């Protein structure tokens, strides 16, 4: 097989090495446009795990790289005059120049034909069976076929300079400095005996406001030297980017719908980029190289080999790109976290990618996590540290025992809206299960406000009696508080129950719908009647009546459902609100009616009891509500007296393209909480105690709601407490023998896992 690699970076060279190892007869030519040693950039870092992959693919390369590694263990976060250190991080650094030199020598030793000063434009590659496009993020090979590869390029919001410095940092060092123009940060780490990488980064607008866009390279560097002088020990910052028009770059997120076309296959940065703040670009490039070489060795023809390579690598790349995106956004929004105290700022930074969990951090540095838990406990007035999910939380006069919430979930079991024994057992069991707060499902304020015929209501005396029985049970038998979620289905009303065809109209017996505009939720849904002012007044009265019933029933918290495309949400999103009066158009206008409802409720709801609002923080549609809009929506409700924003997302349009993943909606809660400094509740694919502890410790939310996990396990909180060894969690007295046996089972499982390890 004749293989031509365009680009002698980490991807192209390591691919040639691994290919030669698995198929010594292959003919491989690597064309590199630069001269040997003529590379831009300073050091690169690797995490421990990456090293294992390289070691298996080519022990020789690994041994030579490992010989030159500078290893370090700790991360220092310098912020507001404090340094917070977390250990056990296990990184290694090497000069990019040395890495390339080692790869080059190894490739030559294995018989690869490496040609420097050989730009591919000047070379004839027509005879090749396989053309490996390893020509980096700006790949000209990819650009020539961009429509076929389905290339998307997304420029990000920061500017950065990749510099070197003779200062030797004993830890991976992050430092943050505030200027009149905004925040600047450095990411610095040592990569050989006397040199470190120093990446200086700031928002684009900060960069412009500081005049750096007009400064020469030398003046830019001098500016950064002054700004970060206290970390540089008197050493100058050095640039090796003389070939660039400006040393300031912007990170570009590269993605491709297809990684191969005819005999061309994309590798490393040419196929995908991952922001440098998670230090994974080289790792991905090297692992791509391993994947492609193995695929070519196991398939006779290039096409199936390319397909196998792409299928194998895509998943891992996507995982890391998701983590990298969270990390990129963190550094783009330092200002958002600037109100956090140093301890929480550092924890938020360490866990920014949502990949490193609370227990991962504990495994790396138990003393650091213990210190963080102690700090969190002190702020909550506790004497001793507890797992963060067990910190109490107060909203107005209501004290919640912990941060776990049973998310509102429709059960579709009511007849004419009345919650019966099923609801008593369902909500009662979850309250006994230890969550600090249990929500009712969306409880509808009128018969025609229901989503389905099975939905719960709060508009008849029977409803009040049914709910009061449940609330009384929860208060009499558990420490949990119970919240009433009120809503009106609007354009998403008159649909089937959850286990039939949800969001689809009933086979028969449909009722007329109302909405902000005559826009149906879907092709088969009825077109709602555009609401008149009289309709609005009637709906407000229905909400207020339901709130009064809620007070009589004894609920502790009232939530207004303004999410998921139901009536109030359908006013907020421009996708369904097409009104031309004061209730449509701008976001302020679209919020007008939901705020009128909220204010009416706040005036009527008990002043000592809190109110929350559930919102959809994004429509996941290009022309819909954005996370920036969500901040404004939250701000408006907070100004109207909301104590908590319950941050959900989507379900407002059939055109939505949600990006699912672990804790996928939590970044929206993080954004709203820290940009507005208001209490939030995160929800959505949060499945375990470790995730909850991380969210609370990082200040991404104040409460964490779990829906489906509570359907599978009503005793989620009791089980989590036992697993975490949190003895202070109260269990129902009658269940204590069960608790003791459960604790023994957990202990034995932990001991068995220890033996296996
Ligand atoms: C500031 C910064 C810091 C980083 N830090 C880290 C880190 O700490 N850890 C980490 O893992 N990654 C890091 N990265 C990412 C890493 O540099 C890249 O992901 C990695 O280099 C990708 O390897 P590659 O071989 O795909 O591309 P490249 O390294 O870009 O190599 C492409 C090669 O192709 C050559 N070439 C281009 N066009 C042609 C042509 N027409 N003909 C011939 N040759 C051509 C180029 O000269 C180059 O040598 C960082 C990146 C940046 C910008
Ligand atoms: C069966 C079911 C019913 C739901 N009903 C409601 C509801 O009545 N009101 C609401 O705001 N969200 C409702 N949701 C959404 C959940 O509250 C929660 O936001 C969602 O399930 C994501 O959380 P999870 O990943 O923990 O399940 C429902 C979810 C499920 C699974």
Distance of CA 77 to the CA centre of its chain: 21
Distance 135 CA to ligand 1 centre (A): 8
Across all residues in the chain, what is the average pLDDT? 95
| Residue carrying structure tokens 């989590």 | 720
| DSSP H helical ranges for 516-626 | 533-553, 567-572, 587-604
Q: Strand, coil or helix: what is 450?
A: coil
Which residue numbers are catalytic?
A: 566
Q: What's residue 122's pLDDT? A: 62
417-472 pLDDT, tens digit per residue, is 999 999 999 999 999 999 999 999 999 999 999 999 999 999 999 999 999 999 99
Non-local CB neighbours of 653 within 8 Å, separated by 6+ positions: 565, 573, 575, 576, 619, 620, 621, 624
C-alpha distances in Å from residue 744, one per residue of 33, 252, 725, 741: 64, 52, 11, 5
Tokens of 258: 């297809």
CB distance 423 to 474 below 8 Å: no
567-620 pLDDT, tens digit per residue, is 999 999 999 999 999 999 999 999 999 999 999 999 999 999 999 999 999 999
Q: Which of 44, 116, 172 should be mutated for ligand 1, with most atoms under 8 A from CB?
A: 44
Q: Could you count the other beta carbons within 10 Å of the beta carbon of residue 523?
A: 7
Q: How far apart are CA 336 and CA 358, in angstroms?
A: 22
CB distance 490 to 513 below 8 Å: yes
Q: How far apart are CA 180 and CA 495, in angstroms?
A: 55
Q: Could you count the other beta carbons within 10 Å of the beta carbon of residue 242?
A: 8
Non-local CB neighbours of 740 within 8 Å, separated by 6+ positions: none
Burial 632-648, CB ≥16 within 10 A → b, else e: bbbbbbbebbbbbbbbb
Q: Which atom of ligand 1 is nearest to the CA of 269?
A: 26
Burial of 360 (0-12, 13-18, 19+ CB in 10 A): middle
Tokens of 324: 């990298």
CB distance 392 to 700 below 8 Å: no
Distance 78 CA to ligand 1 centre (A): 29
| DSSP H helical ranges for 433-504 | 461-477
Could you tell me the pTM of the whole model?
A: 0.94
Q: Could you count the other beta carbons within 10 Å of the beta carbon of residue 262?
A: 11
* DSSP β-ladder status, 151-165 and 237-238: antiparallel
Tokens of 747: 């202990």
Strand (E) or helix (H) holding 78: strand 75-79
Place 648 in a pLDDT band, splitting at 50, 70 and 90.
Answer: very high
| Residue carrying structure tokens 């994947």 | 291
| Protein residue closest via CA to atom 5 of ligand 2 | 409
Tokens of 166: 């003779």
Strands (E), 595-753: 611-616, 644-648, 680-683, 703-706
Tokens of 572: 């907020």
CB distance 248 to 159 below 8 Å: yes
User: Does residue 574's CB lie within 6 angstroms of at least one atom of ligand 2?
Assistant: no
CB distance 442 to 487 below 8 Å: yes
Handedness of CA 100, 102, 103, 108 (dihedral sign): positive
410 vs 659, which has greater pLDDT? 410
Q: How far apart are CA 424 and CA 432, in angstroms?
A: 12
Average pLDDT over every residue of 484-510: 96
Does the pLDDT at position 371 exceed 80?
A: yes
* Largest pairwise CA distance in the chain: 86
| Residue carrying structure tokens 């579709």 | 412
Q: What is the CA radius of gyration of the chain?
A: 29
User: Does residue 30's CB lie within 6 angstroms of at least one atom of ligand 1?
Assistant: no
CB distance 385 to 374 below 8 Å: yes
User: Does residue 457's CB lie within 6 angstroms of at least one atom of ligand 1?
Assistant: no
Q: Could you count the other beta carbons within 10 Å of the beta carbon of residue 367?
A: 12
User: Does residue 115's CB lie within 6 angstroms of at least one atom of ligand 2?
Assistant: no
Tokens of 375: 């700090």
User: Does residue 100's CB lie within 6 angstroms of at least one atom of ligand 1?
Assistant: no
CB distance 433 to 482 below 8 Å: no
Q: How far apart are CA 628 and CA 29, in angstroms?
A: 49
Distance 410 CA to ligand 2 centre (A): 7
DSSP tag of 684:
S
Q: Which atom of ligand 2 is nearest to the CA of 441?
A: 8
User: Does residue 247's CB lie within 6 angstroms of at least one atom of ligand 1?
Assistant: no
Phi first, then psi: give them for residue 59, nearest 5 degrees.
-55, -35
User: Does residue 93's CB lie within 6 angstroms of at least one atom of ligand 1?
Assistant: no
Q: What's residue 493's pLDDT? A: 96
Q: What's residue 120's pLDDT? A: 82
Does the pLDDT at position 257 exceed 90?
A: yes
Does the pLDDT at position 49 exceed 70?
A: no
| Residue carrying structure tokens 């922001």 | 275
Q: Which of 410, 439, 691 should be mutated for ligand 2, with most atoms under 8 A from CB?
A: 410
Q: Could you count the other beta carbons within 10 Å of the beta carbon of residue 604?
A: 16
Q: What's residue 388's pLDDT? A: 98
**Percent of the chain surpassing pLDDT 70:** 99
**Percent of the chain surpassing pLDDT 90:** 90
Average pLDDT over every residue of 373-396: 97
User: Does residue 706's CB lie within 6 angstroms of at least one atom of ligand 2?
Assistant: yes
189-248 pLDDT, tens digit per residue, is 999 999 999 999 999 999 999 999 999 999 999 999 999 999 999 999 999 877 777 889
Non-local CB neighbours of 174 within 8 Å, separated by 6+ positions: 75, 76, 77, 78, 185, 186, 187, 188, 349
* DSSP β-ladder status, 43-47 and 91-95: antiparallel
Residue from 212, 196, 114 nearest 159 by CA:
212
Distance 241 CA to ligand 1 centre (A): 14
Q: What's residue 474's pLDDT? A: 98
Does the pLDDT at position 46 exceed 90?
A: no
Distance 676 CA to ligand 1 centre (A): 39
User: Does residue 280's CB lie within 6 angstroms of at least one atom of ligand 1?
Assistant: yes
| Protein residue closest via CA to atom 6 of ligand 2 | 409
Q: Could you count the other beta carbons within 10 Å of the beta carbon of residue 314?
A: 13
Q: What is the number of the ligand closest to the CA of 248?
A: 1
């Amino acid at each position: 097989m004749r293989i031509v690699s365009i680009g002698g970076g980490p991807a192209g060279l390591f691919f040639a090495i691994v290919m030669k190892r698995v198929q010594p007869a292959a003919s491989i030519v690597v064309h590199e446009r630069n001269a040997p040693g003529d590379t831009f950039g300073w050091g690169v870092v690797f995490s421990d795990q990456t090293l294992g992959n390289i070691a298996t693919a080519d022990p020789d390369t690994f041994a030579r790289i490992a010989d030159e590694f500078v290893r370090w263990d700790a991360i220092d976060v310098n912020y507001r005059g404090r340094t917070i250190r977390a250990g056990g991080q296990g990184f290694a650094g090497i000069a990019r120049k040395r890495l390339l030199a080692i790869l080059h020598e190894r490739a030559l030793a294995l018989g690869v034909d490496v040609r420097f000063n050989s730009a591919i434009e000047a070379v004839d590659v027509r005879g090749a069976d396989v053309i490996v496009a390893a020509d980096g993020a700006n790949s000209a090979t990819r650009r020539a076929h961009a429509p076929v590869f389905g290339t998307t390029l997304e420029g990000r919001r920061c500017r950065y300079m990749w510099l070197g410095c003779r200062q030797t940092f004993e830890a991976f060092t992050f430092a943050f400095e505030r200027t009149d123009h905004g925040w600047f940060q450095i990411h610095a780490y040592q990569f050989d005996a006397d040199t470190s990488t120093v990446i200086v980064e700031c928002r684009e607008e900060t960069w412009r406001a500081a005049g750096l866009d007009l400064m020469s390279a030398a003046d830019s560097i001098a500016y950064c030297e002054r700004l970060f002088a206290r970390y540089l020990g008197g050493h100058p910052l050095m640039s090796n980017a003389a070939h660039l028009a400006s040393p300031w770059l912007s990170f570009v997120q590269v993605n491709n719908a297809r990684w191969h076309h005819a005999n061309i296959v994309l590798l490393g940065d040419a196929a995908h980029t991952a922001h440098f703040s998670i230090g994974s670009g080289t790792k991905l490039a090297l692992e791509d190289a391993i994947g492609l070489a193995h695929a070519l060795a196991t398939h006779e023809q290039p096409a199936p080999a390319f397909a196998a390579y792409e299928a194998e690598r895509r998943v891992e790349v996507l995982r890391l790109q998701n983590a990298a995106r969270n990390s990129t956004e963190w550094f783009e929004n330092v200002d958002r976290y600037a109100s956090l105290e140093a301890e929480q700022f550092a924890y938020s930074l360490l866990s920014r990618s949502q990949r490193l969990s609370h227990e991962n951090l504990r495994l790396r540095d138990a003393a650091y996590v213990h210190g963080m838990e102690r700090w969190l406990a002190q702020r909550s007035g506790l004497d001793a540290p507890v797992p963060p999910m067990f910190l109490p939380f107060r909203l107005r006069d209501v004290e919640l025992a912990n941060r776990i919430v049973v998310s509102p979930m429709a059960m579709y079991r009511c007849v004419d809206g009345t919650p019966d024994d099923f609801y008593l057992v369902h909500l009662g069991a979850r309250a006994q299960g230890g969550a600090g707060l249990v929500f009712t499902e969306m409880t509808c304020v009128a018969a025609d406000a229901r989503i389905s015929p099975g939905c719960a209501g709060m508009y008849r005396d029977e409803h009040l009696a049914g709910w009061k029985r449940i609330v009384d049970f929860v208060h009499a038998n558990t420490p949990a508080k119970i919240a009433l979620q009120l809503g009106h289905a609007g354009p998403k009303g008159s649909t089937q129950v959850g286990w039939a065809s949800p969001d689809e109209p009933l086979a028969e017996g449909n009722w007329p719908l109302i909405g902000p505009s005559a826009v149906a939720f879907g092709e088969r849904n009825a077109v709602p009647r555009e609401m008149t002012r009289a309709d609005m007044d009637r709906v407000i009265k229905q909400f207020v009546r339901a709130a009064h019933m809620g007070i009589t029933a004894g609920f502790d918290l009232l939530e207004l459902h303004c999410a998921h495309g139901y009536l109030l949400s359908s006013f907020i999103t421009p996708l369904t609100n097409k009104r031309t009066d004061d209730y449509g158009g701008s976001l302020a206008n679209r919020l007008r009616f939901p705020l009128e409802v909220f204010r009416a409720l706040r005036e009527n709801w008990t002043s000592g009891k809190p109110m929350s609002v559930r919102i959809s923080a994004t429509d996941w549609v290009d022309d819909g509500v954005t996370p920036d809009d969500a901040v404004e929506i939250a701000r408006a409700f907070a100004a109207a007296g909301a104590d908590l924003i319950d941050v959900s997302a989507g379900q407002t349009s059939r055109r939505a393209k949600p990006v699912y993943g672990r804790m996928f909606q939590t970044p929206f809660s993080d954004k709203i909480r820290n940009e507005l400094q208001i209490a939030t509740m995160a929800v959505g694919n949060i499945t375990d105690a470790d995730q909850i502890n991380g969210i609370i410790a990082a200040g991404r939310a104040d409460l964490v709601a779990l829906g489906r996990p509570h359907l599978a396990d009503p005793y989620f909180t009791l089980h989590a407490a036992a697993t975490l060894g949190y003895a202070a969690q109260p269990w129902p007295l009658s269940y204590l023998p069960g608790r003791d046996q459960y604790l023994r089972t957990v202990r034995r499982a932990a001991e068995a896992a220890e033996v296996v390890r």
